[in-house]
Amino acid sequence: MTVTLSDVAARARVSPATVSRVLNGNYPVAAATRERVLRAVDELDYVLNGPASSLAAATSDLVGILVNDIADPFFGIMAGAAQTEIGGQEGAVAPESGRQGSAATGTAGGTAGTASATGGTAGSMAGTVGAASPVGAGRAAGRAGSEKLAVVCNTGGSPERELTYLTLLQRQRAAAVVLTGGALEDPGHIEAMTTKLAKLADAGTRVVLCGRPPLPGSDAAVAALAFDNRGGARRLTEHLLALGHRRIGYVAGPAERTTTRHRLEGHREALAAAGVPEARDAQGRPLTVHGPYTRDAGYTATLELLSRAPELTAVVAANDTVALGACAAVRERGLRIPADVSVAGFDDLPFSVDAVPALTTVRLPLHEAGARAGRLAMGTEAPPPGGVATIGAELKARESTAAPRHA
Amino acid sequence: MTVTLSDVAARARVSPATVSRVLNGNYPVAAATRERVLRAVDELDYVLNGPASSLAAATSDLVGILVNDIADPFFGIMAGAAQTEIGGQEGAVAPESGRQGSAATGTAGGTAGTASATGGTAGSMAGTVGAASPVGAGRAAGRAGSEKLAVVCNTGGSPERELTYLTLLQRQRAAAVVLTGGALEDPGHIEAMTTKLAKLADAGTRVVLCGRPPLPGSDAAVAALAFDNRGGARRLTEHLLALGHRRIGYVAGPAERTTTRHRLEGHREALAAAGVPEARDAQGRPLTVHGPYTRDAGYTATLELLSRAPELTAVVAANDTVALGACAAVRERGLRIPADVSVAGFDDLPFSVDAVPALTTVRLPLHEAGARAGRLAMGTEAPPPGGVATIGAELKARESTAAPRHA
DNA sequence: AGAGCCGTAGCAAGCGCTTTCTACGGGGTA
DNA sequence: TACCCCGTAGAAAGCGCTTGCTACGGCTCT
């Protein structure tokens, strides 16, 4: 039923070894032989058995990209960029159009790309990609199999799933693993992760952190691309302070995430530097509310903040999505943005510039970071000195923030 | 270096076969023996070799979810829902909070979930998940390995990548494949896809289409969950017509996508039914512009539309993202929404309700569809009669559409 | 008391591929 | 002309796991 390597070998009148070598392109095979093999592959419509080859070679071409929430463009953009960098973009898409996140959707243009598929059984792509091209002449020395299968795994923010996926990837002997976004700060989980990642690295899996701070024990081997969340947050709050705000509410993310903590710390740094005390309500409770990174959390928290302290002149949100909810809450209270209350976000997701008023936020080069992580995972790019690189965060002051009325 | 099954067997003083059976839990093993094995697994920190086991068992637990653009929540929501349904959510997260797409991000709450990990080498999860729990008493008959690794693959809308991923998944002997979103209508590509999917199905891979129309040759075996794009689009345009609009511009998606065509057809159906001719500019060219599903495309196209036909009173966009761009363009022209120009989207992505003014759109139950696709992929749910189910699309009339001024 | 039987465990044969080592020609070199 | 070496192909030994079949006690059944 299933066509195997030896079937191809038989048909091409060569040994299985030769077929394998043609497919992997890492051993000299005479041109004539190769053509014969390739033709047989095509005719039999042969597809390599991945597990078998991974087993024999003790490596696989799987690269896992872990994200906390696949429905959130924050992760989607990084994952997409990384995946593009990893999965060999045959189409050779143009670099980038301009807006971050404008992945290659659509691909409107024409029918061009599919042309080759018209006839029969379009491209078997058996072993090496491109191997199935018309058996014609001028094909260069069949590229080595740098073809990787980049897949993204959605942890949903659950530490168990994070670990489970890592184990599953370890089982598959993944070539690399990219962890995106903030990490959970629970000591137990950190230890478990450190152990697991060390084990993966030991086994030869390249581990890359993208938008996540390096591990405590800095196991080297694990390259980290960290966002300057603290610095960005500081500049954002400085901006607000410069506008004259003194009573600023803060809708933070989940309490145990590094991202949440760093942004909050940056915020507080700015306040401290300016000698402005953290805003508190009548009961003396700080005007900081934690919640998940969702629009609804922003909405709810802002409503609460506004009730507890009607005199608030600005609300800083954990990220743009949360900010959207905050805006909705502010409006529902009959207040105008930014006339009555300024609102700021973080990340500068694509929709932020289109919000009304356009959202003041902190831009994180998600696409760039993801691409770089992808290259690190491929081993295409040298890891940063010390294994850690910090990626800048740039303040984007737009219309959702302005001087408070009674400034 | 690497711990193998026989190492565990040796340590537990049983045969490798027994260890395998303990791990797979599909063959009776005496409780005492099982405990011994489990302990050995734990002590040696054994991790199953995926490729080896897939090879021997001729199956794998990989499930691929193909999406056109991972940075687009439209896909993210479906993929997330499907993945949750597939990847066994141990955490038993609550059903759904209310807004679609609010995946389990954050996971704020407490530290609870991680508790078990504190000690040493938290959960090895070697074979069966849960197998590594404290070797104590009351563990039920170690569940069969229904554990699947759901991964999402980003095609970026490229037909070649779509085919490549399918081949890669075929190589891995994937247990199932879920294809989300509109399909390309190029004849060559359709044929290639049909062939490829048939081959996958033949090989025992479950194939599910989610938000995509069934294949032409309706190969059965392939379950399809199609959105009623046509009906939704028709109702949307009917809504506009009812408000009194007669000159409606249309910013369509890429020309060769099923989604694009169906929505456009629904739009035209409504016009035809109302006896309203399709809007045209002074030169008689129809006011329909094609472009990718991006914000920028919507922006550019709308600018063009407005230039060619300043008398336009409404713009219908291919989807919400495009609509956002359209709104920006309308505003840039100094026009108000909906006073001067009404704008409508499609999909009802989470941000649409927060747009200002709130976007009139057509709601697609993305989460529900994704979850159902996930269940179909798992074989947990019976395929719809005929292999095809159409999922309704509901008009969401909000503030971005209103009667035209000179109605 | 003898014959099955059931519950468990082990044996061993692969699964389909990669890769080391060996083999074989032919051409260049001495 | 004889020797080597290079280029190319094949033989065969696994990679680590699954699973059909066999083996072997101890029980129940007659």
Residues B350-387 pLDDT 10s: 999 999 999 999 999 999 999 999 999 999 999 999 99
At residue A118, does pLDDT exceed 80?
Answer: no
pLDDT tens digits for range A294-333: 999 999 999 999 999 999 999 999 999 999 999 999 999 9
B106 pLDDT higher than 60: no
Tokens at residue A298, please? 């922003």
Q: Which residue has the higher pLDDT, B43 or A1?
A: B43
| pLDDT of the residue at A124 | 35
- CA angle, B48 as apex, B43 and B50 as ends, to 5°? 165
Q: Name the 3-class secondary structure at B241.
A: helix
What's the angle, vertex CA B102, arms to CA B328 and CA A103, rounded to 5? 50
Q: Is A93 on the interface with B (CB under 8 A)?
A: yes
Residue B89 has pLDDT above 60, yes or no: no
Residue B363 phi, psi (nearest 5): -85, 130
Beta-carbon separation of B188 and A121 below 8 A: no
B140 CA to C8 C1' distance (Å) = 19
Region of poorest pLDDT, from A206-220, B50-64, B360-374: A206-220
> Is the model's pLDDT at A255 over the cut of 90?
yes
Chain B neighbors of A172, CB-CB under 8 A: 50-51, 149
Chain B contact present for A146, CB below 8 A: no
Closest Cβ–Cβ partner in A122, A170, A328 for B163: A122
Q: Dig out the tokens for B253 from the structure.
A: 């998606």
- Region A59-68: mean pLDDT is 96
Please compute Rg for chain A using Cα positions: 26
Cross-chain residue pair A89–B161, CB shorter than 8 Å: yes
Say how far apart CA B3 and CA B168 lie, in whole Å: 28
Q: Within a 10 A sphere around the Cβ of B44, how many other Cβ atoms?
A: 17
Amino acid A89: pLDDT: 52
Considering all nucleic acid strands, name the nucleotide whose C1' atom is nearest to the C-alpha of residue A3: C16
pTM: 0.87
Q: Which of residues 354-373 of A touch B (CB under 8 A)?
A: 354-356
Identify which of A333, A354, A310, A337 has the alpha carbon closest to the alpha carbon of residue A404: A337
User: Which conformational region is residue A123 in: left (phi greater than 0), alpha (psi within -120 to 50 degrees), or beta?
Assistant: left
| Predicted local confidence at residue A405, as pLDDT | 86
Q: Smallest Cα–Cα separation from A54: which of A209, A221, A204?
A: A204
Strand B394-396 relative to strand B361-363, pairing: antiparallel
Model confidence at B123: pLDDT above 80: no
- A133 to chain B, any CB pair closer than 8 A? The answer is no
More confident of the two residues A300 and A121 = A300
> Residue A351 pLDDT more than 90?
yes
Contact (CB<8Å) B51/A173: yes
Is the CB of residue A283 less than 8 Å from the CB of residue A349? no
Q: What is the pLDDT of residues B206-265, one digit of tens each?
A: 999 999 999 877 666 799 999 999 999 999 999 999 999 999 999 999 999 999 999 999
Residue A204, SS3 per DSSP: coil
Q: Which residue has the tokens 């009802």?
A: B348
Are the beta carbons of A176 and A63 closer than 8 angstroms?
yes
> Does residue B137 carry a pLDDT above 60?
no
Read off the pLDDT of residues B295-315 as tens digits, 9 standing for 90 and up: 999 999 999 999 999 999 999
pLDDT at B219: 61
Sheet holding A288-290, edge to edge: A288-290, A248-252, A314-317, A342-344
Average pLDDT value for residue range A206-231: 89
A252 pLDDT more than 80: yes
Work out the mean pLDDT of chain B and round it to a whole number.
87
Using CA atoms of B133, B135, B139, B142 in order, give the dihedral in degrees to the nearest 10: 70
CA–CA separation, A179 vs A201, rounded Å?
A: 13
Question: For A117, which of B188, B199, B294 is closest by C-beta distance?
Answer: B188
Predicted local confidence at residue A126, as pLDDT: 37
- pLDDT at residue A215 in the model: 86
Confidence of residue B394 (pLDDT cuts 50, 70, 90): very high
- pLDDT of the residue at B218: 60
Q: What would the pLDDT profile of B161-193 be if each residue is shown by its tens digit? A: 999 999 999 999 999 999 999 999 999 999 999
Q: Nearest 5°: CA angle at A265, between A263 and A267?
A: 70
- Å from the A296 CA to the C4 C1': 68
Burial degree of A294 (CB within 10 A; 0-12, 13-18, 19+): buried
DSSP string, B211-235: SSPPPTT--SSEEEEEE-HHHHHHH
* Better pLDDT: B229 or B93: B229
Average pLDDT over residues A216-224: 77
Name the more confident of B406 and A89: B406
N-terminal to C-terminal alpha carbon distance within chain B? 79
CA of A387 to C1' of C6 (A): 60
When pLDDT is cut at 50, 70 and 90, the band that residue B112 belongs to is: very low
For residues B10 and B32, give the distance between their C-alpha atoms in angstroms, rounded to a whole number: 16
| Closest residue to B157, CB basis, from A60, A105, A355 | A105
C-alpha–C-alpha distance, residues B407 and B241, integer Å: 11
A156: which chain B residues are within 8 Å (Cβ-Cβ)? 80, 84, 89, 91, 93, 103-105, 107
Cβ of B144 < 7 Å from strand C? no
CB < 7 A contacts with chain D (nucleic strand): A 13-18, 28-30, 32-33, 55-56, 58; B 2, 4-6, 16-17, 20-21, 23-24, 26-27, 48-49, 52-53, 55-57
B269 by Cβ neighbours in 10 Å (0-12 / 13-18 / 19+) ranks as middle
From A119-123, A245-249, A345-349, B256-260, the region with the lowest mean pLDDT = A119-123
Establish whether the CB of A4 is closer than 7 Å to any nucleic acid atom in strand C: yes
Beta bridge partners of B127: none
Average pLDDT over residues B281-295: 96
**According to the model, what pLDDT value does residue A88 have?**
60
- Measured in angstroms, what separates residue A14's CA from nucleotide D13's C1'? 19
CA of A263 to C1' of D6 (A): 63
Q: Is the CB of B25 under 7 A from strand C?
A: no
Residue B328 pLDDT > 90:
yes
What mean pLDDT is predicted for residues A40-67? 96
Residue A91 scores a pLDDT above 80:
no
A45, pLDDT greater than 50: yes
Give the C-alpha separation, A5 to A12, whole Å: 11
| A332/chain B closest Cα distance in angstroms | 11
Q: Inter-chain contact B98–A203, Cβ cutoff 8 Å?
A: no
Residues of A in contact with B253 (CB under 8 A): 106, 108
| Nearest residue to A111 via CA among B180, B196, B188, B191 | B188
Contacts of residue B23 in chain A, CB cutoff 8 Å? none
| Both structure tokens of A308 | 């507890």
Evaluate whether B301 touches B328 at the Cβ level (below 8 Å).
Answer: no
Confidence of residue A83 (pLDDT cuts 50, 70, 90): very high
In whole angstroms, what is the distance from residue B101 CA to residue A75 CA? 14
Residues on chain A touching B328 (C-beta within 8 angstroms): 354
- Round to whole Å and give the CA distance between A219 and A403: 46
- The pLDDT of residue B186: 95
Strands (E), A49-88: 62-67
Q: How far apart are CA B74 and CA B365, in angstroms?
A: 10
Distance from CA of B388 to the nearest CA of A (A): 25
Amino acid at B163: L
pLDDT value, residue A263? 98
pLDDT cut 70: percent of chain B above it: 84
Do residues B236 and B316 lie in contact, with contact meaning Cβ atoms separated by under 8 Å? yes
- Residue B87's pLDDT is 79
Quote the pLDDT of residue A1: 72
